[in-house]
Amino acid sequence: MLSPTLITVALAAAMIGALAGVLGSFLVLRGQSLLGDVIAHASLPGVVAAFLISGGRGFFAILAGALIAGALAGLSVQALRRGAGVKPDAALGVVLSLFFAAGVVLLTLAQTRGGSAGLTVFLFGQAASVLRADLVPMALVGGGVLVVLALLWKEFQFLAFDPEGARAQGLPVARLEVLLTLLIAVTIVLGLTLAGVVLMVALLIAPAVAARQWVRGLAPMVWLAALFGALAGTGGAVISAIGQGVATGPVMVLAAVALAALSLLLAPERGILARRNRQAQARKSLRGRQVLAALGGLGADHANPGYAGDQAMLDAYLGADAGPVLARLQREGYVRPVALAPEPGARRWELTEAGRQRLEAPDA
């Protein structure tokens, strides 16, 4: 079960997942998620060109090639936006599709040579293709990224939450942005063998979105995103390694997206269920107050504080069946039913002492 290959894959996936979660947090906070998609797609021509030039799939050659292409893509997006005034989404789409097309052309060029069969691995990722010898360089490069991030933590934090403020403080915002994009490109490139160029974006975004739902503040978010990323990475890689012929990228991505979906639903404060619950609570308490106020109002109209209101009247007042609300209020001791002799079928209610106090108390 625990073969050496599986351990290698799990370690690599945990590392990549954690790193992607950390850097992805910045993409999500800066609203640049799709830039990650563009850089990932755009690194394909770099990967293939590196293969064509170096003649093999050496770790650092591929890394350098992909990095150059990814960085060029990021700069092209900037140039199209700033230089030519192309809208941001169009600039992203243009760069993504043109770089990817270049990658496809180079890919067919490489396929005429021997030893290139493994290149399509970069499209969807294949866990088994991670070599044990790749682990140490992977850890070194990833560690380097984290060290740079830690050294410039304050600056990047400022950049993520308040770029205008950062500019006003005199930080070199443009240079920091380029550096951050470069760090993200390195992360993407490290993950390519596992997740593939097409799906890498989800591995960056999903753990960060998941983490954002549970915590406030950048540091806790980054830690949690790293944890989620590592979980999704390891889980996906192991499942894909056990299942025959299942590409790693899709499984890792689905694991990460499942974590994000669960977080969006279940997170205690921001989560969709918690929000629904809060809204339902608020609606319930509002209805309770409305019924109490109606009873009190009827009492005031009849100049009789102990006046018992007809339930049908309360139904009409609430625009809905007042029964459940009255039952709850009765349980809480704010109202009590009154049986009147002449009309045994109709139910009448009056305020208790506690109900009157509740009505007079200022809004909670």
Partner 1 sequence: MLDAVALMILGTGALVAISGALLGTFLVLRGESMSGDAISHAIVLGIVLAWMLTGARAGLVPVAGAVLAGVGAVFGAQALARSKLLGQDAATGIVFPAMFALGVLLINLNARNLHLDIDTVLLGEIGFVWLNTVVIFGIDWPVAGVTLAAVGALNVAVVALFWKEWKIAAFDPGLASALGLRPGAMGFLLLALTAATAVAAFDAVGVVLFLAFLIVPAVTGRLVAASVGGMLAVALVSGLAAVGIGYAAAFRADVSLGGGMALATGLGLVLALVASPRSGVVAAWVRRRALREEGLVAVLIAHLAAHEGTAEEAEESGPAALVEHLGWRAAQAQTVVAAALDRGVIRREGERLSLTEAGRALARAEVRRNDRRRALAD
Nearer to partner 1, 74 or 250 (CB): 250
Min CB(291)–partner 1 separation in Å: 32
Nearer to partner 1, 272 or 318 (CB): 272
Q: Hunting for tokens 């459940």 — which residue is that? A: 324
309 torsion bin: left (phi>0), alpha (psi -120 to 50), beta (else): beta
Residues 295-354 that bind partner 1 (CB under 8 A): none
Q: Is the dihedral angle over the CA atoms 225, 231, 235, 241 positive or is it negative?
A: positive
The answer to whether 274 contacts partner 1 (rule: CB under 8 A) is: no
Among 52, 61, 68, 94, binds partner 1 (CB under 8 A): 94
What are the backbone angles phi and psi of residue 274, rounded to the nearest 5°?
-60, -40
CB neighbour class for 125 (10 Å; exposed up to 12, middle 13-18, buried from 19) = buried
Nearer to partner 1, 130 or 205 (CB): 205
Residues 25-64 that bind partner 1 (CB under 8 A): 28, 31-34, 36-37, 41
The answer to whether 284 contacts partner 1 (rule: CB under 8 A) is: no
Binding mask 204-233 for partner 1 (x = CB under 8 A): xxx-xx--xx--------------------
Among 201, 211, 308, 329, binds partner 1 (CB under 8 A): 201
The answer to whether 246 contacts partner 1 (rule: CB under 8 A) is: yes
Min CB(250)–partner 1 separation in Å: 4
b/e map of 71-108 (b: 16 or more CB within 10 Å)?
Answer: bbbbebbbebeeeeebeeeebbeebbeebbebbeebbe
Among 254, 274, 313, 359, binds partner 1 (CB under 8 A): 254
DSSP 8-state assignment for residue 55: S
Q: Find the farthest-apart pair of alpha carbons in the chain and give their distance in angstroms, rounded.
A: 101
Pick the stretch among 3-11, 185-193, 243-251, 323-331 that binds partner 1 (CB under 8 A).
243-251
Among 52, 148, 176, 264, binds partner 1 (CB under 8 A): 264
Min CB(358)–partner 1 separation in Å: 34
Q: Is the dihedral angle over the CA atoms 323, 324, 327, 328 positive or is it negative?
A: negative
Q: Rounded CA gap, 271 and 214, in Å?
A: 8
Pick the stretch among 248-256, 292-300, 302-310, 319-327 that binds partner 1 (CB under 8 A).
248-256
Task: Determine how many CB atoms are found less than 10 A away from the CB of residue 160.
Answer: 18
Min CB(226)–partner 1 separation in Å: 17
Q: Rounded CA gap, 255 and 228, in Å?
A: 10
Going by C-beta distance under 8 Å and a sequence separation of 6 or more, which residues neighbour residue 177?
159
Q: Rounded CA gap, 23 and 259, in Å?
A: 17
Min CB(35)–partner 1 separation in Å: 8
CB 242 within 8 A of CB 3: no
Residues 97-136 that bind partner 1 (CB under 8 A): 97-98, 100-109, 112, 120, 123-124
Q: Which residues bind partner 1 (CB under 8 A)?
A: 28, 31-34, 36-37, 41, 83-87, 89-90, 92-94, 96-98, 100-109, 112, 120, 123-124, 198-199, 201-202, 204-206, 208-209, 212-213, 245-247, 249-251, 253-254, 257, 260, 264, 270, 272
